Amino acid sequence: MGNATVRAFVVTGPGRAGVRDVPAPVAGAGEVVVDVERAGVCGTDADFFAGDMTYLHTGQAAYPLRIGHEWAGVVSAVGSGVDSGWAGRRVTGDTMLGCGRCARCLGGRQHLCADRYEIGIRNGWPGALATQLPVPVRALHVLPPSVDAVLGALVEPGANAVRAVRAAALSPGDRLLVLGPGTIGLLCAQVAAAAGVEVHLLGREQPTLDFARSLGFRSVWTSASLPALPFDAVIDASGASVLPARAVELVEPGRRVVFIGISGEPSPIDSRELVFKDVTAVGVLSGSGGLEGAIERYASGAVDPRPLVAATVGLDEVADVLAGRRRPEWGAAPKIHVDPRR
């Protein structure tokens, strides 16, 4: 047992990565081991591969890295103190793993715990681009039968979108502008539309705009074509350094801007604009608190994120995906999934 290994995608430095045999995870106290059926590749993973991710420069992450934090799978082993009924259950889980003891964790803000692990991201917790993944049982969420592995691996990004739309505090009939029609932006648009909100999207590249329209969104704009409408909320899901300030400029006075995109460089806003417009600005970090909401929306069919998945590849193709080498036949859908069993 001690010599068992699993296949995992390992990033060893900027632009350097490959598939390796690594020691198989063992379920510690309060933990399970999950056989990963599907994992998503995210912009954060690409930033780690490129060497740009902030955590690499703050000491919260270091090479070699085992990335991947959007996943679904089946519990194959349980550790001490874990109900044996978890074995065989289909699950996904929270990325953020707080210590469970500090004031933030005890106050419901475990995703902001100073000592937290983040699966595949922070403080060395191994990620889901592997055939097996260790997870604390407290982070697990059960997937109902109608939420398969594809949907299950979209729960984490969907949970981010649920939290962002929730933070926008919109009512049916209100008008939302989403900046950046990538995975999170499109999921925000889908979640908001399912709640009866009038959704507008702002983007740059024609294939991306056309893809957003293919999902049924008619109000898709560029900066040049954006109509002068009052927006009851603006969600910045772009990662562009100039757009947070633009969000404040575009939102109706007295309403909300939500920041969920992260720029690679400082993205300043003028606090005077917030004051003079009486605007509420909200930052959203992670899907913690939104996972059940995403699962419920997928299970009911209120939100169908399947079209966002362009392709599913094996571990051996992940490096190409992270380097931005996409096959033309994949089209403009933003999300790539990985089946580690391939």
Condensed to tens digits (0 to 9), the pLDDT of residues 226-242 reads 999 999 999 999 999 99
Euclidean distance between CA atoms 14 and 18, whole angstroms:
12
- Answer whether 5-154+305-338 and 158-283 agree in fold: no
Which token pair is 138? 């407290």
Measured between alpha carbons, how far is 135 from 318 in angstroms, rounded to an integer? Answer: 22
| β-strands 96-97, 251-259 pairing | unpaired
pLDDT on residue 318: 98
Share of the chain above pLDDT 90, in %: 98
Among all chains, which residue has been given the structure tokens 């801007």? 257
- Cis bond before residue 334 (omega within 30° of 0): no
Amino acid in position 213: R
What's the Cα-to-Cα distance from 109 to each of 69, 130, 139, 174, rounded to whole Å?
19, 28, 13, 29
Terminal CA-to-CA distance of the chain, rounded, Å?
A: 23
* Helices then strands, each counted (H, E), the chain: 11, 17
* Contact assessment for residue 9 and residue 48, using Cβ atoms and an 8 Å cutoff: no
- Class of the 158-283 domain? alpha beta
Instruction: Please state the pTM of the whole predicted model.
Output: 0.97
Rounded Cα–Cα distance for residues 79 and 180 (Å):
42
How many residues are present in the chain?
342
The closest of 338, 304, 300 to 319, measured between CA atoms, is: 338
In the structure encoding, which two tokens stand for residue 206, read together?
């024609």
Fold of 5-154+305-338: Quinone Oxidoreductase; Chain A, domain 1 (3.90.180)
Instruction: Answer whether residue 2 shows pLDDT above 90.
Output: no
Smallest CA-to-CA distance from 153 within 79, 53, 45 is with 45
Q: Which residue shows structure tokens 């399947």?
A: 306
Q: How far, in Å, CA of 341 to CA of 78, rounded?
A: 21
How far apart (Å, rounded) are the C-alpha atoms in residues 173 and 247? 20
Q: Give me the residue spans of the domains in the chain.
A: 5-154+305-338, 158-283
pLDDT digits (tens, 9 = 90+) for 94-108: 999 999 999 999 999
**How far is Cα 296 from Cα 246, in angstroms, rounded to an integer?**
33
Helix, strand, coil share of the chain (percent; to 5): 30, 30, 40
Give the pLDDT band of residue 3 (cuts 50, 70, 90): confident
Share of the chain above pLDDT 70, in %: 99
Give the separation between CA 243 and CA 269, rounded to whole angstroms: 9
In the three-class reduction of DSSP (H, G, I as helix; E, B as strand; rest coil), residue 80 is classed as coil
Report the alpha-carbon distance of residue 38 to residue 68 in Å, rounded. 10
Q: Residue 136's beta-bridge partner residues?
A: 31
Task: Report helix, strand or coil for 306.
Answer: helix
Average pLDDT on 214-229 reads 97
Q: Model confidence at 19, in pLDDT bands (50, 70, 90)?
A: very high
CA separation for the pair 183, 155 (Å, rounded): 12
pLDDT tens digits, one per residue of 317-333: 999 999 999 999 999 99
Of 120, 153, 128, nearest in space to 335 by CA: 153
Tokens 């009052």 appear where? 230
**Average pLDDT, whole number, for the chain?**
97
Q: What is the pLDDT of residues 135-153, one digit of tens each?
A: 999 999 999 999 999 999 9
Q: How many CB atoms lie within 10 A of CB 222?
A: 12
d(CA 158, CA 71): 12
Residue 207: half-sphere exposure toward Cβ, Cα within 13 Å:
7
| Mean pLDDT in residue range 268-284 | 97
User: In this predicted model, what pLDDT tens digit does every residue of 243-261 receive, in sequence order?
Assistant: 999 999 999 999 999 999 9
Measured at the alpha carbon of residue 269, what is the angle toward residues 267 and 271, in degrees to the nearest 5? 150
